[in-house]
Amino acid sequence: MVRKNYMTKPLDLFTTTLFPPNLPEVFKQIYYYLYSNSNIPRAERLGAEMIRILFCRIYDEIHNRNGKVFIAKSHESEQEVSNRTIKLFEKVKEAYPDVFDKEEKIYLDDKSIKYVIEKLQNYALVETERDVISEAFQAFWGPGLRGEKGQFFTPRNIVKMCVDILNPKLGEKVIDPACGSGGFLVEILSCLKGKEHFCNVYGIDKETDLVKICKAYMAIVGDGHANIFCADSLYPEFWAKEMKREIEDESFDVALTNPPFGAKIFIEDKRILKNYKLGHEWIKEPSNKWKITNSLSEQVPQILFIERCLQLLKPGGRMAIVLPDGVFGNPSDRYVWQFILEDAKILAIVSLPPETFLPSTHTKTSVLFLEKTRNNDKDYEIFMAIANKVGHDKNGKIIFKMDAKDNYILDNRNKIIDDDLPPIASKYKELVEKGTIHQANHLGFIGRLSEISNYVFIPSYYDPEIKQKLKEMEKTGKYRLITIKELVEQGLISIKRGNEIGSRYYGMGDVPFVRTSDIVNWEIKIDPVKSIPEEVYEKYRRRQDIRENDILLVADGTFLIGRTAIVTSFDRKLVIQSHIRRMRCLKPEKLHPYLLLYLLNTEIVQRQIEEKTFVQATISTIGERLYEIVLPVPTDKEIITKIMNDIPEIIKMKVEARRKMENLIRNGKEV
């Protein structure tokens, strides 16, 4: 059967000016309707039905362009629409017998089939910028399959960026060893459509449902010849003979993948671990180098997939892999980077915002691009970028670019999706083609391997915009730059960490136990539910030694790091949590607490705190990087005088308000 080359999009296409449907919301509406009203009450069966109908729609778009079959007209009965759809599915089965079994049927009732078609018939699913199949799968299979197994489908704009940066050539052999529903593979086929030849595309996934969907997707919108296998990529010894012949180590030019990841899923099978250096225990030597041992050690799958991709690549092959941010900054993962640097060259690292995979997971991720090579003694450039916008908000709703007056920015009367990924891909291409980046900023800048500190590969840590802003401030002569580390070394401040007391003491006394969420707008909010007994306070009183004008700074915890409060006379006694740092000005005549409080809350300092906050293990933290923060101390006496006048006035008002509130509550109790 000859298939139409309907996809003619060029490789570097990032057209985001079209208004796309909010597909997640559409699929959610369909799901809830079918779950409540259809003849099929089980969610997993509904998912299978929906996939069959979706492929009818996609088939219809490709093969029936002059006369649509997938349509529900207002005057038609439910049975007419249903019968036509069922006949269409028979054509789909005939066209793709290796994907759909002869016995497969659409079991949905007539009313439900018509409802689904009415919801989808106005959307061009093949041409949309969204990955239709993945989004339908997520809506119907829900978090049960994804979350527990660490599977989160890759948004299409991430896929496009990865493909654009790796730029697969005609004839190159490409693999996704955790292919899911085939997002990366379909994008590669679509990019090379209309050219003389197709590249060799391979995919592996161990989830049967996903493999079937991927095969169907590839067959209908691809060239029909992709090789999709149902197997465990990490365990090739268990593969079928045919698969072993088709997929050999060091036989691929390009690998792209978004492997399962999560803190709760570990590979413990020794038969798998023994095949990977990263499946072994590593020990740190006095030289700060890591050494592999003969002992096997359980490992999260995303780490093993790094090595698996490198195994599959030819020398000189390129890869892109989506990884949780912890990998890029965790001290415990530094041996992973030593391994990577021995076997590969880092081409690029692109940091993605927390909402990238929302609403599925809030895990922050980055994309790592590597070239397999053993000649890694030399210093080299690394492209880095920080994406702050990825086209949707935390609820999955599409966001559009707006001007300073909150008006939509239009291109040919179309709203433009607010997405940093297209310009990031463009800046990488600029570096490849011209050897430099004309205007370096967070959307693309050049780092060097020799500049990497302590195996920290998080782009925000090296953000050139902050460095440039600080330089400009210093140039004016109105600011003196000094790090927190220098303040400590000069004896101007001291920093101490709080303590954990155990939740068993909560609510058993009247002494406030201050947690990160209790620090708001320079104040300490007292939560009586978390108050602790006097004897617990006495245990930590001398150790913590909290005094008036001490500054409390949140150092750990999602979205709270950088918050500050100043201890007032009203805060008579308290104990602070371990995620809080107590900062004390030791020489107020040289650095007053009010000035330090002001400096910690300036925009440039808060940006530094944000950029130096990493995910380590399961919690966000600034750690020892707090000492690297640069404070722009004003040299203008008038500015300092204003700060010293305004801040105590603000604090006095806050204390007075708290005192009045407490008196009111106390009087109410007496009544």
pLDDT, one tens digit per residue, over 9-31 is 333 333 333 344 567 778 888 98
Span 257-269, pLDDT tens digits: 999 886 578 999 9
Q: Who wins on pLDDT, 438 or 125?
A: 438
Q: Stretch 154-165: mean pLDDT, rounded? A: 92
Q: Would you say residue 643 has pLDDT above 90?
A: yes
Residue 156: closest CA among 176, 178, 181: 181
Identify the pLDDT of residue 127. 66
Q: Who wins on pLDDT, 195 or 363?
A: 363
Identify the pLDDT of residue 224. 57
Q: Stretch 200-214: mean pLDDT, rounded? A: 87
Q: Would you say residue 236 has pLDDT above 60?
A: yes
Tokens matching residue 469: 């802003």
Distance CA 408, CA 461 (A): 32
Distance CA 577, CA 372 (A): 45
Identify the pLDDT of residue 19. 40
Identify the pLDDT of residue 132. 66
Residue type, 232: D
Which residue carries 């099978």 as its tokens? 269
Distance CA 662, CA 593 (A): 26
Span 458-517, pLDDT tens digits: 999 999 999 999 999 999 999 999 999 999 999 999 999 999 998 899 989 999 999 999
Residue 178: closest CA among 202, 205, 207: 205
pLDDT band for 662, please (50, 70, 90 cuts): confident
pLDDT band for 51, please (50, 70, 90 cuts): confident
pLDDT band for 99, please (50, 70, 90 cuts): confident
Q: With beta carbons less than 8 A apart as the criterion, state whether 497 and 577 touch.
A: no
Q: With beta carbons less than 8 A apart as the criterion, state whether 597 and 564 touch.
A: yes
User: Which residues contact residue 278 at a Cβ distance below 8 angstroms, ignoring those fewer than 6 apart?
Assistant: 299, 303, 304, 306, 307, 336, 339
Domain residue limits, the chain: 23-120, 150-462, 468-670
| Architecture of the domain defined by 150-462 | 3-Layer(aba) Sandwich (3.40)
Identify the pLDDT of residue 628. 96
Span 337-395, pLDDT tens digits: 999 999 999 999 999 998 888 777 778 899 999 999 986 678 999 999 999 999 888 87
Q: Can 150-462 and 468-670 be said to share one CATH topology?
A: no
**What one-character DSSP code corresponds to residue 400?**
B
Span 316-327, pLDDT tens digits: 999 999 999 989
pLDDT band for 560, please (50, 70, 90 cuts): very high
Query: Taking the model in full, what pTM does it have?
Result: 0.83
Q: With beta carbons less than 8 A apart as the criterion, state whether 191 and 168 touch.
A: yes
Tokens matching residue 650: 């603000």
Which residue carries 């415990």 as its tokens? 332
**At residue 65, what are phi and psi to the nearest 5 degrees?**
-70, -30
Does domain 468-670 fall into CATH 3.90.220.20? yes
Percent of the chain with pLDDT over 70: 88
Identify the pLDDT of residue 1. 37
Distance CA 170, CA 58 (A): 26
Identify the pLDDT of residue 8. 35
Q: Would you say residue 148 has pLDDT above 60?
A: no
Q: Stretch 658-669: mean pLDDT, rounded? A: 77
Identify the pLDDT of residue 14. 37
Q: Would you say residue 666 has pLDDT above 80?
A: no
Identify the pLDDT of residue 85. 95
Identify the pLDDT of residue 125. 74
> Which of 244-248, 377-381, 539-543, 564-568 shows the lowest per-residue confidence on average (mean pLDDT)?
377-381
Q: Stretch 632-639: mean pLDDT, rounded? A: 94
Which residue carries 């001398």 as its tokens? 542
Rounded mean pLDDT of the chain?
87
Q: Would you say residue 663 has pLDDT above 90?
A: no
Q: Stretch 186-211: mean pLDDT, rounded? A: 77
Identify the pLDDT of residue 189. 81
Identify the pLDDT of residue 271. 96
Residue 373: closest CA among 348, 340, 349, 333: 340
The half-sphere exposure of 73 on its side-chain side, counting CA atoms within 13 A, is: 6
Residue type, 75: H
pLDDT band for 277, please (50, 70, 90 cuts): very high
Percent of the chain with pLDDT over 90: 60
pLDDT band for 147, please (50, 70, 90 cuts): very low
Identify the pLDDT of residue 117. 94
Span 54-89, pLDDT tens digits: 889 888 888 886 667 889 998 999 999 999 999 999
